[in-house]
Structure 1
C-alpha cells in the first residue's frame, strides 16, 4: 500500500472511536478495532521480542505474539476476522520488524475489505507517538482532544478506570502532557477537537481530508456500518458510535452535581485546558502529590473534593521526588491503607501507616518531618 497510514490517538473517552468511524466510512480508508499493538508489545519481555526477530523459523514466534494481542478480553486477531495462518503467510514475506507485525493486522484487514489505505486507532498509542514516527516517517498522526474535564468524568464507564473523576483526570492530564512537545513540532500530525466534530462534522472532516490527502465523500457522514467494524461486543461503551451526534455530550463536567469535583478536575488539568484553548475556571493554588498506592484505594477519592477546594489544594501529576519518602513505605502497605496525599494528615500507629482526613493546619508540618526524617 503506497499511501501513508493514519494513526488516531487521544485520551480515553476523547472521541477517537467516533472519529475513526467517520474516516472508515470513506471508500478508500479502512479501520479495524483497536490493535493495542504498541501498548501490549511494550509489555512483552524484550528478549522474547528479540528472539522472535532472529528465530530461524521466522515468523513462528512473531505470529504467536500477534495472536496473543487482546482487546477487552478478546483476541485482536479474531476481531480483525483474520486467521493465524494468514498472519503467518503475510509475515513470512516481510522483514523481521515490529512494523511487519502490526501490518499483519492492518494491511491484511484493508486488503480483505478492498481498501487502499489503513487507519490504526488505539487511544493509548498517544504514549508511543515517538516510536510510531520512527517506524512510519510518513504516517499521518491525528490527535483528537476533548475538554479534559469531560474525558475525566466519562472514563468512569471503562472497566479498568477508577470510579473517581479526580483520579482519572490525572491520567488524562499525563497522557496529553507526555506528547505535547511531539505535536508542537511534528509537521505530519494534526489536532482536532471533539466538540468541533460534534458541532460541524462536515466542516471538520473536509478540513481533515485536505490534510491527509483524500477527497471528502458524503459517505463519511454515514457511520452505520463503519461503527460496527471498529467496535466489539465486549466494549459496550462504544455502542452509540453509529447513532446520531449528541451535543449534550459536550461540556458534561459543567453539569456535575458536585461542582467541587469539577473544580478539582479543572485544577489538575489546568495546563492542557489552556494549551487546547478551553475555558479555564479559577484554579486551586497549592499543588500536592499522590503517592502511588494500589488503585483500589483511589476509588472514593472524590469524597475529598471539598477538602481540596476549601484548602486551595490540587493534585499535581508529577510524582514525589523524595526517594526516602517512597522507600519509607515500601513493603508496608496494608489492606486498610487509604489514599496518601501530601497535605492530608499522615500518622503512624506502630509500624503501620494510615491516613485520616485532616482538620485545617498542622498536617503539612507533620508531613514535612516525615519526608525529611526529622520526626
Structure 2
C-alpha cells in the first residue's frame, strides 16, 4: 500500500528548505504547500475554538483558518467556503481540520499525499506529532556559516548575528534530539551540500525513506517554483534557477572576519560533526561569545515557559487533537 503519511520539511532558516520543498512538490504523488501560519498558531489557540465535537466550533475553526489575515490560507489558492464546509463535515479534531487544508491543496494538483514546510518547525516536532502522529520529518542541514550569512541579508530577519548563530545551533541540537527519540521511519537528515551536488542520489535515498519511487522531475525543481512560490517572496528567487552548488561556501565572501571567528568559536563542534571544515580563524572575543550565550539563555527560558504552559493546558484539553484522516491515523483510532 502506498503511503499517505504527512511530510514536514524542517531546518534552520536559509538552509535550502524551499528548494527541498519544491523537489518534493515535483514528485507526482506529493504536494508540499508554501509556508502557512495556521498549524502552530491554531494549536495554541485551540481552547478558543472549544470542543470540536460540536459543529458550530468546527465551523469557527474552519473560518479562522480560511479568513484570518495572519494564516496565509490564501496562498493555498483554495475555495475558502468549500474548505469550511469540509472541516464541518470532517472528523472533530484540530489535526483533522488542519490536515483537510493540506489535503485539499494536494488535491488541487491531483496528488494523493501532502507535505508542509516551515523551517522553525524543528522547535515544534512534539507538537506536530500530537496533531499528526504518523508524520515524517525531513531535516535539511546546511553549513551554519552559510545560514548565518544568508539570514543577515533577509529583509524579514530583524535580529542580529548573535541570534542567527543561535538559530543554527538550535536547529542542530533539536535535530540530534529528534534523531535519538523518533523512530527510524519518522526522522531523516540530509545535507544541503550533498543534495545540490548529487540531487538524484540524495533524492532517491530520501524517497526510499518516504516510501516513494524517485522521479527525475524532482531534480529540476525550478519548474515547480513558478506555481508553488508566491511572487512576493523575492528572497526565494534562486529557486527559479537550476540546482547548483555555487552558493555552498558563499559565507567566505559574505561574513566579516569577526563573524567567521564567532561562528567557528561557538559552533565548532556542531560544524565538524556535520562534516564542515573549520578555517582556523582566531578565537572570537569573549564579549561576543558571552552575547551568544546570553541570547541562547533568553531563548531557552522563553521556550521553557511556553512548554510549561502547554503541559498544563493539556490537562484540560477541550477534545482530541490528533488527525483522523490517513491510514495510520485511522488505525490508531481503531486501536483506541
Deviation of the 1:171 alpha carbon: 2.2
In the other structure, the counterpart of 1:269 is: 267
In the alignment, structure 2 segments of 5+ residues that lack a partner are 302-336
In the other structure, the counterpart of 2:216 is: 218
Q: What SS class does the counterpart of residue 87 from structure 1 fall into?
A: helix
Q: What SS class does the counterpart of residue 269 from structure 1 fall into?
A: helix
In the other structure, the counterpart of 2:48 is: 48
**Which structure has the greater CA radius of gyration?**
1
d(CA) in 1 for partners of 2:263, 2:160:
10
Which is richer in helix?
2
Deviations 1:181-235 (A, max 9, x none): 1123322210010001111111111111111111111122222331133321221
d(CA) in 1 for partners of 2:122, 2:51:
26
Q: What SS class does the counterpart of residue 159 from structure 1 fall into?
A: coil
Deviations 1:33-83 (A, max 9, x none): 112333332553x5314x26255514221112212566xx7x522211112
Please report the RMSD computed on the Cα atoms of aligned residues, expressed in angstroms: 2.7
Contact 2:55 2:88 in 1 (8 A): no
In the other structure, the counterpart of 1:62 is: 61
Match of 2:77 among 64, 76, 81: 81
Deviation of the 1:176 alpha carbon: 3.2
Counterparts of 1:119-138 in structure 2, within 5 Å, are: 119-138=115-134
Q: What SS class does the counterpart of residue 59 from structure 1 fall into?
A: helix
d(CA) in 1 for partners of 2:277, 2:27:
33
Contact 1:32 1:106 in 2 (8 A): yes
In the other structure, the counterpart of 1:22 is: 23
Counterparts of 1:69-148 in structure 2, within 5 Å, are: 76-148=72-144
d(CA) in 1 for partners of 2:277, 2:6:
34
In the other structure, the counterpart of 1:335 is: none
Say if 1:251 and 1:193 are closer, same or farther in 2 by CA, change over 3 A.
Answer: same
Contact 1:11 1:151 in 2 (8 A): yes
Q: What SS class does the counterpart of residue 9 from structure 2 fall into?
A: strand
TM-score by length of 2: 0.78
Which is richer in strand?
1
Deviations 1:92-122 (A, max 9, x none): 2222222112212210011121101111111
Name whichever of 187-196 and 133-142 sits farther off: 133-142
Q: What SS class does the counterpart of residue 246 from structure 2 fall into?
A: helix
Deviation of the 1:4 alpha carbon: 1.2
d(CA) in 1 for partners of 2:15, 2:143:
8
Which structure has the higher relative contact order (CA within 8 Å, separation 6+)? 2
Contact 1:26 1:217 in 2 (8 A): yes
Deviation of the 1:310 alpha carbon: 7.4
d(CA) in 1 for partners of 2:172, 2:97:
27
Match of 1:235 among 222, 225, 233: 233
Contact 2:62 2:88 in 1 (8 A): no
TM-score by length of 1: 0.71
d(CA) in 2 for partners of 1:272, 1:164:
20
Match of 2:149 among 153, 160, 163: 153
Deviations 1:294-346 (A, max 9, x none): xxxxxxxxxxxxxx53778452254279x9xxxxxxxxxxxxxxxxxxxxxxx
